[in-house]
Structure 1
Amino acid sequence: MNDEKRTGITGSLLKGVTRKSVEALARSFGIQPNDRAWVTMDVGASLAGVSIKVATEFFRVVPEVAQHLENEDLRQWAEVGRRIALDNAEEANQFFHTSAQTLASVPVHLRTQLIALCGKQIVLSPSTALSTFYTAPKTIEKLGESEATDKLFNIAVAVANRSVKHSTEVLAAAPNAIAALTQLEANFAYQNPTIIKQALELAENFANRTGATAAEFLSALGEGLSFIKTSGEARLLYEQTSSFLERGGATALQYFRAAKSVMEQSDAASFEKWNFVTKRVAEEGNALVYDFLKLTPKVMSALSANQRRIIGAKQRTPEHSLAVIKSVLEMTEELADNSVYVALECFKSAPRALAAASLEQFQAWARAGAGLHRQDRRRAQAYYALESKSSQESLRAARGGLALESISHLLRLYVEGLTGRELAIAPLGAVPDESRITDGQTIHLPAMIAEFGSLEDDFRLYKVLAAHAAGQIEFGTRDVGSSPLRAALQDVDEFFSSQDESQSRMVDSEEVEIPEDYIPRKRLRPTLVEEHFDAADFKLVLSRFPNPGLATRIFTTLENGRIDYRLRKSYRGIRRDLNFVRARLIDNRPPVTSLPVDQLLYELLFQITLCGGVIDPVARKAYGEIIGEFHRIIEQCIYHEESSVADTLVATKRVYALLQSPRNEENTEAETDDKEQADEKNESDDSQESSGDQQQQAVEKQQSQTNPFNQWTEETDDTLPDETEMLSEMLQAERPEQDLQEGDQAFFYDEWDRELGDYRAKWCRVIQRENRRGMRDFVEQVRARYSGVISSIKHQFQMLRPESLRKIKGELDGEEFDLQAVIDRHVDLRTTGRPTDRVYIRRIRRERDVAVSFLLDMSSSTARTITRHPNQPYTRPGQKIIDIEKQGLVLMSEALEAVGDAYSISGFTSEGRRNVKYFIVKQFGERYTPEVERRIGGITYHNNTRLGAAIRHCAAQLEKQSARTKLLIILSDGRPYDHDYGDSRYAREDTKMALRQAKTQGMTPFCITIDRDSEAELKDLYGEVGYTIIDDIMSLPERLPGIYRRLTT
């Protein structure tokens, strides 16, 4: 092609460009061979159709770029630019302008792969392709020019065939993966110099199999492989992972992660046992083995963390941790020979069981259930899942110790004598974290303590924990709206608002790099108004901190220290017991110098606050400055006789600011440099220790319920910790727990399982909340509609009121003679010779002593409309069942107000066993006010009918009443039903058991229903306690008072 022809073609393509420029461009690529010149012309023509400016830049740079690329790569590179131009011409111009420089920085043998990768990415995401192209030199620099780098780019290309996004993640994860593999290969070069090659071949298999999981596999490699002790272990890990690829990339990836966690925290023998169990589980199907593999790292971390609880913080060693894990895996392997499902329940529940018992006690509990699978696999699963009551009792029996149940009355008297207040005692397991000590009336303590092997010492510990919990109530931890709290709220808010303004100024002045997801903290915290100050409590103040979780952790430690100080000052007689517990706390603290930096400062604060000072003299010397600051804050804010929760909050602010200050971070890092250098030789061992904090968090919730010392250190954050996933959730769909609303209280109840022949312990969560307010007009309309009926009912019920004094004739003693009896006595004396001595009249005060709870079914089925005139739906419309029931409640309230009986009104609905809603309409002792009337008006239908749990909670409230006669009246339109009830027989048997329990507790349950179609089932359900079926639901309001009158007379 001659110069004139090139110039002519170029000019025709670049219309509008000066001839001089066209001639210059034509000459610039004129030195290229004809085949490449034609490629250039062909691509240039397509670019000119998109943008003349981009095409011009292309012609300008192509001679230089052509020096780095072959014809086909050149065409692919130009195509990438063309597609970018379709989206953004400026981006395309920049791409062509920088291409020569970028490609020059990429090794020759990698350029084809880079262009191929970008070519695949550009189809779906131009921005991804550009990012890959621009960052390639830096990525290659990190990886180094090696065979491994070639392999990684090939893997990225293979992944891009399936997922553009994950192809970029491959290159992002590659440097860390290569670094970890290089270190591992260096360790075993004399044994196996191909560790990197084997790992990348496995990554390539992932890429060819599923694509996306290859990036995750490389990320998992990059997390570290220092736990591998021999090249044989590495080869075994790769081979076993590769074998699971046949089951899919996701399953193989989960296997790799799970195997890593087992290898990292156990030995070769334990890994072999775990591998055996894994293969047995795999025989049951992919879904089950996937969930088991996903669960394994959590269980392993929790088991490792449990060593702190089992053997004490100071004496723990890797050998003890291995013994725990090995024992659990041995039991799991043994059970897997007979039933995989039973084995998995044992494996899954081991951390919870070990959080409540020693290793020997766990083994005794596990062996006690070993024979159950031969009788009933379902019972065995419930046993090892710690769901059945017999399982929990077996674990407690293995553990021994002092049960709260046996001494609760003594502790109640002790607390009353200590504080002068009547407080109830309840076990911790009966309520979740967020409901503890919220009403100021109940102290929650561990159900069992077995810390010392001595009942006397265990009782001393119970006394201290009870006193400490009572102290939280007496010394105002839960105060609301006090002047000091209002001041603390203002102080904290102003302090962090000033920090927000400083941060905003830095952002505005571009002194700091702004993250893409940056949101000013002012927008995350609403402006304080007077209502906030009226409701000021410690939770509200903590929510004003930039990091409420960190603030809560600090506050918890400081507030427990304040309570401890106030107890010592106010009740000197308890000092000896407090010192006894403090000594135990000191014995259980870990060495400060062995902790990671992120845990070290919290441990120092804990020891200063609750242990009387930092225990380790080496730590006191090494961290003297921060220790001195902590001491000053605590002494100024907390250690005085009138200290309040507001003082603790001010101290929290100061400690928070101290921990967040850059100077403190630099000092802490400097102070730990020497220790890190000294421990370098033991780095691999220390890496296991440094993961202790994460492991501890995995069982934090369970330990807080069983380890009494954690009652002083547990966090009071409103959010619930995530629990270990349960196998039952793998096998059946279950509604997740709903978050609690402000003012909610949660209670846990057992549920009867007829097939197990046992209770499922704490199976149902009942959420108690005040019913929403409706219109008071509803009650007024009922009164107007039934005015005559209400007058009649009131008159009838007033007749039930006892007279103030009633004459009782025929008594052996009394205030006066019964003249008729005296006459009869003389007659008998003369006729029969056997006269009676009952000739007196006695006047006694006789009171009606009745308490009744009305439990209303608020399920969706009560939304049905009932009418007596189905052929006249518009002129004579019907009413919803729920509205008819509400009318009955209004009439009953009027009647009960007339007779003076104590009564409560509640409703219930459910969405699975963890979300049983219990709505308070009127409580015992609450007056029948317009507020109650509005709550009656607000009653409406919701979801399902988990009747057993609602009955148990209602009975628990009714049991607290001192009345001689206690009635529990249930208004329901049918049979119990819920999502996860299983078969209807299960629901009926649980409801029957709940009614039976109420009856044995001295109550009279009675059910009013309208479901005539299932009378046989209702007779089976309620036959033991009594029921009535109302055929005409429209008559319920008039009939309800009559039913009640018959039950109480």
Structure 2
Amino acid sequence: VNTLSQNKDGGLAFFKIESSHSEAVIETLSSGIELDRIKPVMEMYCRALAGAEVKLSPTDALVEKNIGWVSNESPTTEGSTVFVPTLVDRYGTKEENYAWFKVVSTHQVAHLEFGSFIFEFERPSGLFENLRLDLEARRIETLRENQNNGPAFGEDVADSDSPGNELSESHTGLERAWLTDMQRFFDLFEDRKLSLDIFTVVEDGRLDARVKNEYPGIKSSYTQVQSDSHENRPDIKELPAREAMVEFMVRLSLQQYEGVLAPSKYNKEASQVAQIARRVLVPDATVEDTAEATLRIYAIISAIPNEEIPPDDWSDMDFDEEDDEDYVDPEDMENLLQQIGMGMEMELRPEGEEEYESIQEVEYRGDFKPELAQLMTELRMQQQDEMGQAQGEPLTQEQLQELLENSAELDLQATQGEIQESSGMFADNIMKEAGANMPQSPDDSQGPFVHVDEEGGELEPPEPETFVYDEWDFRAEDYKPRWCVVRQKMMQEGEPAYFGATLNEYSTLVTRIRRQFEMMVPEMFRKERKLIDGEDIDIDDVIENMVDIKTGSSPDEKFYWRRNKVQRDVAVAFLLDTSASTAEAIDEGKNKQDDWDAPDDPVEYMVWLRTRRGEQMRRSYKRIIDMEKESMVLLINALEAIGDTYGIYGFSGYGRENVEFYTIKDLHENFSEKVKRRIDRIAPLHATRMGPAIRHATYKLDNTDARTKILFLISDGRPQDRGYSREGVEKEYAVHDTKKALDEAKMQGINSFCLTVDKNGHDYLKTMCSDMGYEILDDINDLPERLLVLYRRLTM
């Protein structure tokens, strides 16, 4: 009111909440905490905890993606980003709400920091005897006996000649390489919903204990939030027995050790469950320990009928941490395995027993979806898996849809048709979110490629960030119009540590090269003579003037000089060959022959590619691609010293409709942590259709303002691709199209240079590069240093 009386406009703005002053007053009076106001601080806090880049986003942003998360209020993570509510207003003070916000964020980061999503099915537990593989083998064998009349119990399950082995393959995964370890684990259970709930409670308990042990500064707030969570729990006496046992676990995980209600008739089972669950509360427990605990608890709880318990048939149970005995597996492990196996195989619900319903989530722990989170992570990694680790067929959308339909993490309760429609929608959205571009069914499982007849017609850009280019046909002496589609993609990010590790490995060379590049700076100044004024007198001109005076001639008044800065104006695009052949070991690369033998059929090509990559699965050596990556690290370090404009791009693809052009650092992009991370993810991919990639790099350079423009191509061999470079005429077709692309660049004022490690390169480089520069590197180990020397020479 005082503001209004003094300034009408200011007062009106205040009451309309259109001034910073009014917002500040409301913020002071409000007890709630808004994410937008604390996001920078909380993101910094989350990064500090995780020791890695962690983003913080509102939960509704995840819900909008429609990939399986449906709550706008439940905090969660999908494996890379922490999602939290936009507003927290649970308590009467800002301090309490901020503390709750901090606990919520800490718990979600704990999933990332302490490995909830890096579960490996075959990695052993440190706290329990490992039962997973044995149970999987028994379950597969049982299924084989029941469905295929396969071998009797005790025969070798893994015998590839045994009838019914197909079932073994199908049970353990649609394709072993594409099945996440989480999905493989939950496949052990008949009731996935029950197993997921047990796993969630045990894992959340492990994380809470680990957080309070690792970060004592938050322990007080954490304990308070856990205590407050009891108030929002359902009445356990209203739950049927099996659900009550899971709720009993929740109470224990929230540190309620006295007066915990449990059905009296199942007190023994409750004690066993408590012993198992509390065993993973030690600091060195892992997610694999959680998995083994889940197996044992599931065996106990699944054997309890989900029946109503009379109100007077409940008892309080107390647990003294000091007196509580550790859980010990029975000496007769066979009985334990049979007990667990019986729990796994319970299919029919006894008459009168209620269907199991998932328990209410603990609010500060949020929505935990381990299967989806691990699936999302692996789909992202699949796009540019450095070693091409897929050993089976590529995961199709149909297979992904089937996985989602089996998951307990998605609510697909509807008719069969509606379920398929919903899971199909989720599958579409998940692949888009993960950056995957997969085939729609097993019948066209060509990986991320869409087959187009090489003898077909013109193409159109199918989506944003795609470009269509002509291709030169030297036989017809004319262009094939709109013949190739270049798909521009951002290179995904890896770890930033690779960049620093490479600099350390080449520390001596780094120091020497950087010094040489820094010496280029003084060379940018040129001495300009015969000026009316300047920095100093030019002694040579003064002598000439004295001679003129002596001889009676008029002296020249311009006898000063100064150094004028000559502006260094250079833009360079580095184009890296990231074809499958760059996965070859360096020693093999030295003797690399022109052995492109990829089949034309896209499906056969994917099999060929996996075989070729599979040979490189476990390496203790460097590959051609590794030397390219290291060269880029050293080059960036040197270029940042002189300020030249530079871009780094990778290219690969398969067929004229799938030329992949990866941006590692764009020409107009500043060097950053993201660039470091992208370099780590450079990996061997597919084939080498050079012409379209050169044309697209030329397009980028042509749209860059610089006096000197250079295209630097780094390759390990001749251009090769389906319908582009087979033996005979097509082999020359690829060379001539590449030559034409380089000629086009030259006509636009761009100088090109090709550096190759192919010793047979003279055969085609003389034609391909013609009057342009090229060099064949005898020893690829010289690539980092030679690249820097060539760059210095080309840009001076």
What range describes the TM-score normalised by the shorter chain of this pair?
0.3 to 0.5
TM-score by length of structure 2 reads 0.40
RCO higher in structure (CA 8 A, sep ≥6):
2
Structure (1 or 2) with the greater helix fraction: 1
